[in-house]
Amino acid sequence: MEGDGGGRSSNSAGQDPSWEADPRAEGAASESSLPPLFVAGPPQRAARVELPPESPDPTVLPEITLLDRAVSRGDDPDALAGLPLPPDRLLARQYRVVRPLGYGGMGEVYLALDTKVGGREVAIKILRPENAPQHAANGGREDGAPHPAPGSPEHSLSPEHPLARERQELVELNHDDIIRVFNYGHHPDVGDFLVLQYVDGPTLEEVRARAELHPEEFGDSRFYEFVLAYGVRFLAGLGYLHAPERGKVYGDLKPSNVMHDGSTTKFIDVGSVRRAGAPGLTSADYRAPTVGPRGESTGADDLFSLGETLRHLCGLDDLDQFADLSLLTCLDAPSAESPLSRATRRMTVPQPPEALGLGLFSLARTLRRATRPDRSDRFATAREMDEQLRGVFRELRSLRLRTETFEPSPLFLQSAYALDGGLGTPPPLSRWALGAPEHTAHTAHTADGAAGRDGAVPYTAPEPADAAQQLPVPRPDPDDAHHIELSRLGDDDPAALLQHTAEWRASPEVHLLRCRLTLRTALRPGAQVPPRLDAAAVALVRAEEAIGPGAAPYDWRLAWHRGLLALAAADVRRARVHFDRVYAAIPGEYAPKLALGHCAERLGRWREALTFYEAVRVRNPSLGGAAFGAARARLTLGGPRALGYAVEALDAVAQHSRHRTAARVAAVRVCVDHARGADDLTEVVRRLGRLFYAHGLTDEQARLRMRAEVWEAARALLASGAVSAARLREVAHGADVRLRFPLTERQLRVGLSRFCLGLAQQATRDPTAADTHLAELLLDRAYATRPFGLRHQRGEER
């Protein structure tokens, strides 16, 4: 149903007495005197809530059916006493009053039947002249004269009157999420009125109260995804109003002014819609601090009110707490007194913070940006906020279901690099020249020198300089003068690209490109005269100047590139600060979380690293960088399921991903490092066969190194007694025949000797080998490994 009521009343921002000519208007200007049309909390109207099927669509909502319609409801007679229209009154010879529905800051609301359109149910809103939004500032008409009294002959507005034009514009509004204004009219006894679409459903204030009492009706933590769905739907309506051709604002967005209509939503108080910058009604609890003294609002102020509305639905406490990543430390040892637990104590659907993962942070940070005091700190447009709400929705859904909810990023290009830290490639040649590793439990050490848990095997994150070159790149700004050319550029040869773009007319995106290209050439190994990182910093300063002092402090692209430069200089702590600013600005994006995961890993913050990596990996398993990071963090943290979790993360990299082969290589290497018996060896050999003949490792040199790795592990297990000769034969019989896995210890040594000879040949052809004696060491290893015999053996023994 259409109305102004709710848990909080409408009131103007800085009214003067001319806004309160009617005794009931005084109640509308009060925070608590207006009886709510809907009461938050019990007693509630009976309703049936049907959860929709699981869907990646961020606009899907539950179906809510009221079991007692407002037309049959017995409201408190004292609350509606004094309303002037009795039932059966015919307004403007067309609309027959059925009963009062309520009243609010803008006027009384009645249910009526449209006698000229088949008895259609409509809502009649009586407009108090003192609340005419465009003209309240001067208390009357555009010429400053007071409004004529309702019912006077001169009160009826001509089509040319500004108020008539405003009401005609309301009639012309046509959006699914905004209640329709069918008509406007005038009746001598009551004055002007609007004729609106009649809908009857719970307001968001009712929905919030119901979710707090019965969270299971909304899927428990799934409720937060529905909150984001509300936000996405509301932004569609706000974007429609804010469009340049309309130039309007909603002005008074709050939970009681939005209705859940079946499985859709409606803005129900169109009386607050006005031209941007015009005065009008607002509500104190949801009003932006930048709203004018008489309610003068902009589109950014509507986004603030939306952020406050969504925050109220969630029940989140002070959003400024979520500016500090130290809240994530409670995930190491969750407790009732942890910072995150305190920050979420009043959530609508209480959840253990660790169960929500990073999704809670991302949700809170999105709402925090929407409700910043400075208008420039907020989202600039409804579309910009919509992108971030959709990203957070996908993150929350993925973490809840542990399943992919992927959509290409609107702001970043997907990186071609795996960020695997070498784990996704076969071991280097030096690994055999230095001797066989011990395949027994040993203690790892974190980046800050602390011992790993449960004898975890250490794996190294990419070097900061490598990460600076391999993290995702922002998409070119569509409004940049060189957007088309930038969108077509490759990045194979940064030095050549620097030459190619040298004559381009300067623009912010060109300077940012040159910053990245100069950074990459400065870090390029073997460069004769590499540019200094200072040159990349100069390019970034020029980008900042081109963006301008008004916009540069709020442009996350500058913070992203400052983070890259800090990584290139190996200043990980400073890089973390810059990437955290990016995360605060665009909380729905995966790229800053990937960067923060890397920084946390390099700083030894393993639980924090895992939290970031998991938020990215589960949402988009094709991103190998997140899978490798999650695997490293899981293994370093240790625990009885650490290996299983790590391998599961690597296996989840999709078959169509460019990083699938690297992930399968990493899974084999991790399983080799953790092999402790015959069953483990069986799994390793099975995975090796799949890697060669199903998962894309076709390079013969890489295959040789992986064979040598697995054969070496088998020999170590056999020598230690962890695998018997009989079990070795069982493993060989179960292996893919194309692997030619050895049946005996002698065959193992023959195979390893042959592999070392092949590795020595690779060393002679490797121009990057640091040790000039590497081939000789590998030859010595081959001869030492080959079994002693009294006669020449032709070929490999089977």
Q: Which residue ranges are tagged as binding site for ATP?
A: 125
The structure tokens listed for 789 are: 């015999």
Confirm if 563 and 595 have CB atoms less than 8 A apart: yes
In terms of phi and psi (left: phi > 0; alpha: psi -120 to 50; beta: otherwise), the region of 654 is beta
27 vs 8: CA distance, rounded Å: 11
> Which residues are part of a known binding site?
125
313 vs 378: CA distance, rounded Å: 20
Say if residue 58 is preceded by a cis peptide, omega within 30 of 0: no
Q: What are phi and psi of 661, to 5 degrees?
A: -65, -40
Residues whose CB falls within 8 Å of the CB of residue 109, separated by 6 or more in sequence, listed in order: 1, 2, 3, 4, 100, 101, 102, 103, 123, 124, 125, 126
Confirm if 100 and 240 have CB atoms less than 8 A apart: no
Closest CA to 6 of 258, 345, 381: 258
223 vs 210: CA distance, rounded Å: 11
Confirm if 578 and 594 have CB atoms less than 8 A apart: no
- Cα-based angle 278, 299, 267 (whole degrees, multiple of 5): 90
587 vs 183: CA distance, rounded Å: 42
What is the DSSP code string of 207-261?
A: HHHHHHH-GGGGTGGGHHHHHHHHHHHHHHHHHHHHSTTT-EE-----GGGEEEE
Element (H, E) at 644: helix 642-651
Closest CA to 419 of 459, 458, 462: 462
SS3 59: coil
What is the DSSP code string of 417-448?
A: ----TTTTSPPPTHHHHT-PPP-S----B-TT
SS3 735: coil
Confirm if 666 and 423 have CB atoms less than 8 A apart: yes
In this structure, are strands 248-249 and 120-126 parallel, antiparallel, or unpaired? unpaired
- Sheet of 191-197: strands edge to edge? 90-91, 95-103, 108-114, 120-126, 191-197, 181-187
Closest CA to 500 of 412, 535, 510: 510
**Rg, the chain, Cα only:** 34
Closest CA to 634 of 645, 648, 623, 621: 645
- Burial track 78-99 (b if 16+ CB lie within 10 A, e otherwise): ebbeebebeeebebeebbbbbb
Within a 10 A sphere around the Cβ of 67, how many other Cβ atoms? Answer: 8
Task: State in Å, rounded, how far the first CA of the chain is from the last one.
Answer: 83
Sign of CA dihedral 243, 245, 247, 251: negative
SS3 108: strand
Place of tokens 């995360």: 583
SS (H, E, C) 397-417: HHHHHCCCCCCCCCCEECCCC
Sign of CA dihedral 684, 686, 692, 694: negative
